[in-house]
C-alpha cells in the first residue's frame, strides 16, 4: 500500500494575523543583504500550481516518494510517463512579475542570494544568478548507479523516440512537473536507462522521503548566517527543508519577513506576514524602491 508522506500541518490558534503593510519588506531591502527563500507560491502566476494553497495539487495528488521510485519498476514507469508529459507544460512556463522582481532586487545589490524550494528554473530564466536550488532542478537527470549527470532535454528526446505517439490529455499538472494520468493512460510507457552504465535514471530533484544533500544544507545555513534579514516568498514552510532556515534566522536574531497569502508554519518566527498575491506585492515594493522589474531603475 502506498503511504502518503507527511505534507500538511494545522495552524495553531493565536498566530499573528496577516497584514497588507509592505513597508517592512521595503525597509529590509533598502538596507540590502536580504536572503530570499522562495516556494511554489511564487510560480503559481506562471501557471504552475502550488502544493497547499487554494486548489493546491495535494488535494488530488500524492507526490512520488524516493522509496517508491527506487523500489518499484512500475512506479518509475508511472513517474517518467507523467513527468515526460508534464515537462512539456513546464517548458512553456515563463517567469512572472514575482520572479522578475526578485531578479531586479538582485541586480540592484539588495539581495545576498536566493534559496528556492522550486525545481522549475524560473528564477534563473528571469535573470537571477545567485540561486541555490534546495530541491534540485528538473532540467537535469542523474544515474543512481554511476552518478553521471545529463540534460533533461537529452532524456526527453530519447523518451520521445521510445514512445512515439505518446500524447494523452492530462487532468492537471503538479509543482514537481508530474502530470495527472491514469494507469490506463500510462499504459506500457517505456523507460530508458543510463547511456553510460545502463542504470536507473532519476531527475536531479529531491523527492519526498529523500534528504537534501548535507553540503547544500550547510551552504544555505551559511547564507542565512551572513544575511541581514530573511525574506520568505510563497512558501507555507510546512516541511522542515525550508522551515529550518527560518528557525535558524530567528534563533540568531536575524529578522524574518514573509509574503504569503495563507498562514505559514514560520509565522511565529516572523516580524510580519504580508497576506497579498506575490506578483502584485513585489511589484509594489519595487515601485517604492524606484526599481523596474524589467531591468534598471524606474524613471
- Active centre residues (catalytic): 135
Q: For residue 38, what is its C-alpha cell? A: 522562495
Contacts 24+ apart (CB under 8 A), 156-162: 156/84, 156/87, 158/192, 159/80, 159/84, 159/190, 159/191, 159/192, 162/190, 162/192
Q: For residue 188, what is its C-alpha cell? A: 506500457
Question: Which helix (DSSP H) or strand (DSSP E) does residue 231 occupy?
Answer: strand 229-233
Q: Report phi then psi at 202, rounded to 5.
A: -135, 140
DSSP state of 45: G
Pairing outcome for strands 149-151 and 136-143: antiparallel
Helices (H), the chain: 23-31, 66-71, 73-92, 97-107, 122-126, 152-162, 183-186, 214-226, 240-251, 278-288
Report the C-alpha gap between 242 and 42 in whole angstroms: 15
| 242 SS3 class | helix
Amino acid at each position: 500500500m502506498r503511504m502518503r508522506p507527511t505534507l500538511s500541518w494545522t495552524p495553531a490558534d493565536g498566530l499573528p494575523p496577516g497584514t497588507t503593510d509592505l513597508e517592512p519588506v521595503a525597509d529590509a531591502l533598502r538596507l540590502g543583504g536580504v536572503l530570499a527563500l522562495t516556494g511554489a507560491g511564487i510560480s503559481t502566476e506562471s501557471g504552475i500550481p502550488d502544493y497547499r494553497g487554494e486548489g493546491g495539487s495535494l488535494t488530488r495528488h500524492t507526490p512520488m516518494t524516493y522509496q517508491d521510485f527506487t523500489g518499484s519498476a512500475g512506479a518509475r514507469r508511472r513517474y517518467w510517463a507523467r513527468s515526460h508529459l508534464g515537462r512539456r507544460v513546464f517548458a512553456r512556463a515563463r517567469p512572472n512579475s514575482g520572479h522578475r522582481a526578485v531578479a531586479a532586487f538582485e541586480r540592484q545589490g539588495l539581495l545576498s542570494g536566493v534559496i528556492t524550494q522550486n525545481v522549475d528554473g524560473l528564477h534563473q530564466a528571469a535573470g537571477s544568478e545567485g540561486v541555490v536550488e534546495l530541491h534540485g532542478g528538473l532540467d537535469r537527470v542523474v544515474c543512481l548507479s554511476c552518478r553521471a549527470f545529463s540534460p533533461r532535454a537529452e532524456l526527453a528526446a530519447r523518451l520521445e523516440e521510445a514512445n512515439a505517439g505518446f500524447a494523452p490529455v492530462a487532468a492537471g499538472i503538479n509543482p514537481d512537473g508530474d502530470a495527472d494520468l491514469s494507469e490506463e493512460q500510462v499504459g506500457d510507457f517505456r523507460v530508458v536507462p543510463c547511456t553510460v552504465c545502463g542504470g536507473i535514471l532519476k531527475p536531479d530533484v529531491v523527492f519526498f522521503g529523500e534528504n537534501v544533500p548535507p553540503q547544500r544544507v550547510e551552504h544555505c545555513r551559511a547564507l542565512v548566517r551572513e544575511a541581514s534579514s530573511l525574506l520568505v516568498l510563497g512558501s507555507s514552510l510546512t516541511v522542515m527543508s525550508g522551515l529550518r532556515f527560518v528557525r535558524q534566522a530567528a534563533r540568531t536574531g536575524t529578522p524574518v519577513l514573509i509574503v504569503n497569502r495563507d498562514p505559514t508554519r514560520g509565522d511565529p518566527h516572523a516580524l510580519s506576514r504580508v497576506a497579498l498575491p506575490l506578483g502584485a506585492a513585489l511589484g509594489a515594493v519595487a515601485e517604492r524602491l524606484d526599481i523596474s522589474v524589467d531591468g534598471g531603475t524606474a524613471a
